[in-house]
Amino acid sequence: MSQSPPLAGLRVLELARILAGPWIGQLLADLGADVVKVESPEGDDTRSWGPPFVEGVDGENLSAAYFHSCNRGKRSITADFRTEEGRALVRKLAGHADIVVENFKVGGLEKYGLDAASLRKLHPSLIYCSITGFGQDGPYAERAGYDFLIQGMAGPMSVTGSPDGQPIKAGYATADIFTGLYATVGLLAALRRRDATGEGATLDLALMDTQVAVLGNQALNYLVSGKVPGRLGNAHPNIVPYEVFPVADGHIVIATGNDGQYRRLCDVLGRPDLGGHPDYADNKMRVANRAVLVPMLGSLTSRRHKLELLAGLEQAGVPAGPINAIDEVFADPQVVARGVRVELPAPAAAAGTIPTVASPIVIDGVRQVANRPSPRLGEHKDEILNDPVWSGRHG
């Protein structure tokens, strides 16, 4: 028997653009929420962040791949906040929403009467989520926040890259995406509280806060020891061997997590003596002596071919794997078997579908992913305005 999506009936008004805010809306849409995306007449900035662009049946531009990465499952309507008509439309929609998500600068919506205080005064049960670079208070509150900037300011770049090279940012937008995920958790918690109390909530999510929070063990390494972590390339600050190793035809990752796995690695490499050597017998000693041990292990792995060595490590129960390019990721049999790539029906697209990367959430065997692609700009204006739920004519 088919089940309704877990968030069916939840209404979300998204006043957000770029990535962190839209990531929230997409995830909630994947889980079944009705997400109405309010765009300026010019549209979300990322519609033009290409190439590549999705091509329409007549060769027209159906927005950049970037836009499609974080806007599936939504309906689009346009509103110009500079006009009373546009502001009235947003206030009307907010009156029928459970959640409002926005990522304007601090105070950016206050002048339009669309900020949390204004809308919650009209609708006390509303849950309002603001995404900013630095939060609603503090000395940096007025600054604009960008993912790259935050990766630098919040610490990740200081521990990413080679010791003798430049600090390196992650190859994808970690601050934006993690903020979207944390905000979604916060929204679900606020909904749970509202179920019990009837109270709405105002959420204040900052890219800076989030990026500091996900420093994880690196933050605690510093807070406990007082020693500032540095860049270790692909090495791990707390585990050895746990990094990239050369092979005769490229590189692989070896990620031993305990002493038994380390000893089995040494057996596969034909050096059981290293497994029992007192300088490397436990992780504490291996971390202390990594400068000697890791090059020795690298000289052994470099004599082996990737597939042969990986097969041997898998048979021995040693965690290891290839370093896949993106095309290899989507060809990987595990990724294929799990249905991570999804083709969403899109009659307006030249291919008839638009590809997407599904949510990783699987509930009762069902992968949670919206069943329609990102909307065209203003595509659902009439549909939304005539929707009895959003128009107030429901019931």
Does a cis peptide bond (omega within 30 degrees of 0) precede residue 241? yes
Residue 76: name the closest of 30, 13, 127, 32 by CA. 13
Residue 16: name the closest of 214, 162, 180 by CA. 180
Instruction: Count Cβ atoms below 10 Å from residue 96 Cβ, excluding itself.
Output: 18
CA angle in degrees (0–180, nearest 5) for 336-338-343: 65
Distance CA 395, CA 381 (A): 21
Looking at residue 254, its amino acid is I
Distance CA 74, CA 13 (A): 10
Distance CA 35, CA 26 (A): 8
Residue 79: name the closest of 14, 29, 137 by CA. 14
Q: Of these residues, 30, 147, 176, 209, which one is catalytic?
A: 176
Does a cis peptide bond (omega within 30 degrees of 0) precede residue 278? no
164 catalytically annotated: no
Distance CA 321, CA 335 (A): 14
Q: Hey, which residues are catalytic here? A: 176
